[in-house]
Amino acid sequence: MAAVRSKQGISDTLSSALGRLSFLRMGRRTTLEASALGLVVVLAVLFRVLPLRWGRYFTAYDPLFQLRVTEYVVKNGYAAWFSWHDTLSWYPMGRDIPHSSFPGLPFSAAFVYQALRALGVNVSVYNVCLYFPLLMAALTCIAAYFLGKDLGGRATGLFTAFFMAISPAFISRTSLGFFDTENIGIFGMVTTSLFFLRSVEQEKPLERRVIYAVAAGLALAYLYASWGAARYVTGLLMLFMIVSLLIGLYDRRYLISYCLTMSVGYLFALFVPKLGSGFLLSIENIAVLGLALLLFLHENIRGKVQAGRLLLITGVLLVVLVGGVFTLETFGVIRPLSGKFLSVLDPSKRSMSPLLESVAEHKRAVWAGFFRDFGLTLSLALFGAYFALRKMEPRRLFGLLFFLSAIYFAGSMIRLSLILSIPVSLMGAYGLKELLTPFVSVTSRKVDRRTRRRRPVFGVSKEMGVIFTVFILVATLPTVWSAASEAYKPTSLASSAVPVMLGGRYPQDWLQALAWMRDNLPDDAVVVSWWDYGYWIETMANKTTLADGATRNQHQIAQIGRVMMSNQSEALPILEKYNATHIVVFNTFNPNKPSQEWPFGDNVKWWWMARIGGFNETEYISERQYTEKFMQTTLYKLMHRQADPAHFRLVFASEYGFVLVYKIEY
């Protein structure tokens, strides 16, 4: 009897435990949805891991700096980063790392590395940083799914994640080896938007809305600690609040969410050395505080005046706010927008800085580039914007403002097509869902028992629904193909920045040159090169440079430009002033036809060397022919191996002669 009672007790305990776990059971629809999202994530990772075929190398230049910082944090601890003065870059003054870079990315990668090691996974810092972009791309697609689901349902969520997974603009910054701040930046933008929009939902109780607002603030703080473009999100939230106020969607809960989100974000931003307390005195953050005060005032007078008069007062207060902010900027009380941030708002300002203009990713976008990066998704996003205007509510308004503002900024600077990938995917998914709805509804229509046929509604038949759906799927194939083609290219380091097959493989010249410099140059060597290659030389060769890829000292970069574009007798005193021991040039002459120049090396970058160095570039070329002045420059002599051997002795030439290293003799 006791045994029976014992068995009955065990059975009751198991039943109770299973009952408590019943919430984990998923229905058929949820299982299919989770499976589809899982396939999208797998697709996103596969597209981004394709460059592995060409070797485990980083791409571009900045990721090598982030790798070096991560290695430093792992070796010396997180606290050491806050006092690190790097002596390998910007010789002789060095670089104050905490005040010239963000901690978010290297700290995150260091944490992942330490967590994996704690779990017993034998992994290197190099590999963690190499694959980190894939992790962030997967997490971003998942977050984008929830953002899309909140906007337009499950289908919109899945389409949003899918479009993000195959977006060439997004792939280009999250592929294997692109270990840079954008990895976290795009994830932070999506999660901040997701949590903030949930925090203003009327249906949610106050406690949950507060939790979501704090979560949005933490996501914004992570963004502030990782990427300078976090300013865009600050502006987007302000724009959403102002437009909501003007069109009558505003409610008191918006003010609570807005203040909590921004307060939490600012609280953590103050601990980022590059931002610091002075960050709050920048023009956009003063505008944030001013808008909060305006909203508090709006709350106090609402209900005391008529609606029409309230709108008029609100408009006047907004004008006063804008005027006050610009007045404070004029008198120097607050910090104005400057540098590349100002040039995004006003592209004409970019011509005032040849250094900014020389960066390829800072150029203006063209419509062909938009369609190459987004394909059909861009057209669908336009439909999404139209449907959002027809059925205006907070999420649709936010998506619409996100889309319109990102189009402007992406048009101003081609690099910001990356940001545009979020609202294009979101609004494109919403537009596709709305377009498919009439067709999908046909398949779920009741059958007429007398005719045994489905009754067409709105003139749409089942056959037309199937045809339209297939058409949409086929129309997305060029975008998928473009994404796969873009992802299949080797990283810039794997191809030595020369994307041309030679002898059945991509050139290894930079890899050879960096390895040679690491093993053969003395520890106290000071290497001069154009600023593009500084991060490679510092990280891969472990040698001191005059400039890296941060473009933070225009005077020193201009001095390098003067060295390259002056004759040898004028260049040597400048080099001696900096105690330079070696100089590196990168030419891309076709090895099979030396008279043919490929547009990848210093042989085309000389134009910017001249402009940044303060020379008139037209003096070096006339009627598409190099002038005698150009052929007497130090750069020309070094590239063509015609330099005076008494002062520039060639000590290394790579396999195809693309990278040449000279020892400087004074």
Domains of the chain: 27-180+454-491 (no CATH), 341-437 (no CATH), 509-664 (3.40.50.12610)
Structure tokens at 393: 């509510």
Q: What is the pLDDT of residues 383-392, one digit of tens each?
A: 999 999 998 8
Phi, psi of 305 (to 5 degrees): -130, 165
Distance (Å, whole) CA 275 – CA 220: 14
Q: What is the pLDDT of residues 470-508, one digit of tens each?
A: 777 777 777 777 777 777 788 899 999 999 999 889 999
Is the pLDDT at 442 greater than 60? The verdict is no
Torsion angle in degrees (nearest 10) through CA of 365, 370, 372, 377: 160
pLDDT at 22: 46
Cβ atoms within 10 Å, residue 539: 22
- Counting beta carbons within 10 angstroms of the beta carbon of residue 502, is it exposed (0 to 12), middle (13 to 18) or buried (19 or more)? middle
Q: What is the pLDDT of residues 94-108, one digit of tens each?
A: 999 999 999 999 999
Is the pLDDT at 455 greater than 80? The verdict is no
Q: What is the pLDDT of residues 304-344, one digit of tens each?
A: 777 677 777 778 878 888 888 778 777 777 777 766 666 67
Closest by CA position to 188, among listed 148, 221, 236, 150:
221
Q: What is the pLDDT of residues 559-575, one digit of tens each?
A: 999 999 999 999 999 99
Distance (Å, whole) CA 35 – CA 150: 19
Phi, psi of 528 (to 5 degrees): -105, 135
pLDDT at 299: 82
pTM of the model: 0.89
How many degrees, rounded to 5, is the angle at CA 428 between CA 426 and CA 433?
Answer: 100
Mean pLDDT score of the chain: 87
Find residue 335's DSSP bridge partners: 282
Contact 436, 469 (CB under 8 A): yes
Contact 385, 404 (CB under 8 A): yes
Question: What is the amino acid identity at position 522?
Answer: P
Question: What is the amino acid identity at position 285?
Answer: N
Structure tokens at 230: 């976090």
How many residues in the chain? 666
Q: What is the mean pLDDT of the segment spanning 126-135?
A: 97
Quick one: how far is CA 504 from the chain centroid? 33
Handedness of CA 527, 532, 534, 540 (dihedral sign): negative
3-state secondary structure 135-148: HHHHHHHHHHHHHH
Distance (Å, whole) CA 136 – CA 117: 19
Distance (Å, whole) CA 532 – CA 489: 21
Structure tokens at 404: 């319109």
Which one is predicted more confidently, 134 or 352?
134
pLDDT at 303: 67
Assign residue 523 a region (left: φ > 0; alpha: ψ between -120 and 50; beta: otherwise): alpha
